[in-house]
């Protein structure tokens, strides 16, 4: 069956102008053109459009989507299963935050008493689950199941004050990293502060700190692009190597 561009626009909820743009950039070409020159689409193109919209909903840029879909190794079923898992993860995150908001509303109305720990429980769980999803396999392999479970437990038991202080220290760490990125001079107070702040931040969740483990962690930051991406993207410049070098230099002192 063939569909005109207006039909595809109505079905998908995007404009005919957007579909023409997708054609222009070779992201979604019509199956053919009618004798009158109108774009016509078939099921194959509709399936590709669905994939485009799914990836867009996950925040991917159009050039990234095109690269993925045009990759010879792309497999539709695998992609759909990945979409499903990401959406399930997002659903859990939203449900958890909704539960926190509902409790807060009840607490504000005087219907229930909400402890300080409950106010931050959803945010802490969100952070742990995100870390587990991104880095769980690597850190468990490096530090062992028992160590990671103790670390997670310590983090979940943080008081409201400690949780907020941990966030403040992380923000300060990135400010110092940005300053250090301007000079790249490790023989400065900023470089030593980077090490000290990173150590202080780790102590809120690490059950047993050691210089060796700290150096091993920043080495993993360098070796795994996902860790590097987190630090570099947040600072909007290359800082993970500076963090590594500062820890290596000052952790022995």
Sheet containing 39-41: order of strands:
3-4, 39-41, 32-33
Contact of 52 with 22, CB cutoff 8 Å: yes
- pLDDT, residue 88, reads 85
pLDDT digits (tens, 9 = 90+) for 102-123: 877 876 888 877 665 666 666 6
Average pLDDT over residues 196-212: 92
pLDDT digits (tens, 9 = 90+) for 121-141: 666 777 777 777 766 677 777
Angstrom CA distances, 109 to 96, 112, 113, stand at: 20, 8, 10
Q: Give pTM, 2 decimals.
A: 0.50
Contact of 235 with 174, CB cutoff 8 Å: yes
pLDDT digits (tens, 9 = 90+) for 17-26: 999 999 999 9
Q: Which two tokens stand for residue 186?
A: 């490790």
Domain 3-69 classification at class level: mainly alpha
Tell me which residue of 174, 132, 168, 166 sits closest to 149, measured CA to CA.
132
Which string of DSSP letters, residue by residue, matches 105-121? HHHHHTSS---HHHHHH
């Amino acid at each position: 069956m063939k569909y005109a561009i207006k039909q595809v626009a109505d079905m998908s909820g995007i404009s005919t102008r957007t579909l023409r743009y997708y054609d222009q950039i070779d992201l979604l070409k019509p199956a053919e053109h009618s004798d009158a020159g109108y774009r016509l689409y078939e099921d194959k193109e509709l399936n590709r459009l669905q994939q485009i919209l799914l990836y867009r909903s996950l925040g991917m840029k159009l050039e990234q989507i095109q690269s993925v879909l045009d990759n010879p190794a792309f497999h539709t079923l695998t992609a759909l299963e990945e979409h499903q898992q990401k959406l399930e993860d997002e659903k859990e995150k939203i449900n958890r935050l909704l539960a926190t908001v509902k409790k807060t509303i009840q607490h504000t109305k005087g219907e229930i008493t909400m402890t300080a720990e409950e106010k931050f429980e959803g945010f802490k769980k969100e952070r742990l689950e995100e870390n587990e999803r991104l880095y769980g396999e690597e850190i468990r392999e490096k530090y062992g199941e028992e160590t990671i479970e103790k670390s997670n437990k310590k983090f979940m038991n943080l008081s409201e004050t400690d949780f907020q202080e941990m966030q403040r220290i992380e923000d300060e760490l990135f400010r110092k990293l940005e300053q250090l990125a301007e000079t790249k001079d490790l023989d400065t107070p900023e470089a030593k502060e980077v090490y000290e702040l990173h150590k202080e931040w780790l102590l809120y969740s690490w059950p047993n700190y050691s210089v060796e483990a700290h150096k091993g962690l920043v080495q993993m930051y360098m070796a795994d692009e996902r860790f590097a991406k987190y630090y570099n993207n947040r600072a909007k410049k290359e800082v993970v190597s500076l963090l590594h070098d500062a820890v290596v230099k000052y952790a022995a002192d």
